[in-house]
Amino acid sequence: MRVLGIETSCDETGVAIYCTREGLLAHAVHSQVALHARYGGVVPELASRDHVRKLAPMINGVLADAGLDRRQLDGVAYTRGPGLVGALLVGAGVARSLAWGLDIPALGVHHMEAHLLAPMLEARKPAYPFVALLVSGGHTMLVLVAGLGRYRLLGQSVDDAAGEAFDKTAKLLQLPYPGGPALERLARDGDPTRFRFPRPMTDRPGLDLSFSGLKTYTRNTVLREGDDAAADIARAFQDAVVDTLAIKCRRALEQTGVKGLVVSGGVGANRALRERLGEVAAQAGAETYYPRFELCTDNGAMVAHAGALRLEAGEQSGPAFDVVARWPLETLEPPVAA
Ligand code: ATP
Ligand code: MG
Ligand code: FE
């Protein structure tokens, strides 16, 4: 089954074609980073308008890359939520119209389910059950995954997401938006022994996380130490985030006894985090699984893939479509044939 996937939940336009027999056939991502950079964050209306401009040519582009005619598609998957409503509506509208015109099924996909299943796009795939650490710009959660649509939330951030903390800290350090990759680069030159930042919520049991206090701690350090400490501060901040996530992942593996740890979402591209989680998993006799770097952040491949798994099981959305800004992952269910 060949499925076109469309991602427009935020500031990336992602389009891809995934085949359930042959794997990923083509994918393209257009990042709006330059468009929003001077505002220091995503401007929703600008995001929607840019998706309108980019989607149709990008769909034609991936069809050409895959050597396919649109009539060779068997389904269309689009991100239904969570995300920016205006941006989501652009993808949903295009996806539904295309599916209607081609008389093929369409399905609205959960953005975090798509992130969570993205490591399955790789040759080395995780097997169920596994623990998933979802670390992105808007979410930080630990989920026990028993199968497609069978998700139990083990813990989550009670305030800021890890990616959001990276972005805000980067802004404090006057790094360009989005801050995660820039902060990681700066931290490489930092002295790991100069500062030690707190590891929030690691001294009490449970798998919930918190990153807003760490951000405040970082701000106070920046104000006290001045600009020449930037690399050391970046290093201390990153070490604290990585250490906190590692402690919680170790606990989640111990608590569930599963042998697979899946890491997905933009912060999963962080090399220090990958290295540390590799050690944690090895100590627990478990293995880590990641999407390739470019599929950690938002992309159409993960949407095409998650949609294809559900469409192939017979699930589809009705012709009337809706999008949702908020949509808890735990409310998802295994696919139900229409
Ligand atoms: P969500 O998926 O929760 O809706 P999102 O789609 O905005 O949020 P992603 O695209 O998955 O999030 O990831 C973007 C986030 O990942 C940003 O906060 C960015 O700073 C962070 N990020 C990307 N690369 C790195 C890195 N190398 N180190 C740390 N953080 C990173
Ligand atoms: Mg983004
Ligand atoms: Fe995302």
Cα–Cα nearest to 138, from 110, 118, 119, 117: 110
Residue 202, both tokens: 């690691």
Is position 89 annotated in a ligand binding site? no
Is position 110 annotated in a ligand binding site? no
Q: Give the model's pLDDT for residue 188.
A: 97
At 197 the three-state DSSP class reads coil
Cα–Cα nearest to 118, from 221, 234, 266: 266
Q: Give the model's pLDDT for residue 229.
A: 96
List pLDDT tens digits, range 138-152.
999 999 999 999 999
Of the candidate ranges 170-179, 236-245, 326-335, the one whose mean pLDDT is the lowest: 170-179
Cα–Cα nearest to 322, from 91, 45, 16: 91
DSSP codes joined into one string, 105-163: -EEEEEHHHHHHHGGGGSSS---SSEEEEEE-SS-EEEEEEEETTEEEEEEEBSSS-HH
Residue 41 — pLDDT band, cuts 50, 70, 90?
Answer: confident
Per domain, the residue ranges of the chain are 2-116+295-331, 124-290
Q: Does CATH number 3.30.360.10 belong to domain 124-290? A: no
CB 280 within 8 A of CB 252: no
Residue 37 — pLDDT band, cuts 50, 70, 90?
Answer: confident
Q: Mean per-residue pLDDT for 222-235? A: 94
- Cα of first residue to Cα of last residue in the chain, in angstroms, is 17
Q: Given 3-state DSSP classes, what are the helix, strand and coil percentages for the chain, each rounded to the nearest 5?
A: 50, 20, 35
Average pLDDT, the chain: 97
CA of 9 to the centre of ligand 3 (A): 8
Radius of gyration of the CA atoms of the chain, in A? 20
ipTM above 0.85, yes or no: yes
Ligand 1 atom having least distance to the Cα of 161 = 3
Query: Model-level pTM greater than 0.90?
Result: yes
Ligand 1 atom having least distance to the Cα of 138 = 3
**What are the backbone angles phi and psi of residue 302, rounded to the nearest 5°?**
-65, -30
What CATH architecture applies to the domain 2-116+295-331?
2-Layer Sandwich (3.30)
Ligand 1, atom 1: closest residue by C-alpha:
138
Residue 43, both tokens: 């401007």
Q: Give the model's pLDDT for residue 232.
A: 98
Residue whose token pair is 């192939």:
312
Ligand having the closest approach to the CA of 83: 1
List pLDDT tens digits, range 272-288.
999 999 999 999 999 99
CA distances (Å), origin 108, targets 75, 102, 244, 279: 11, 17, 34, 37
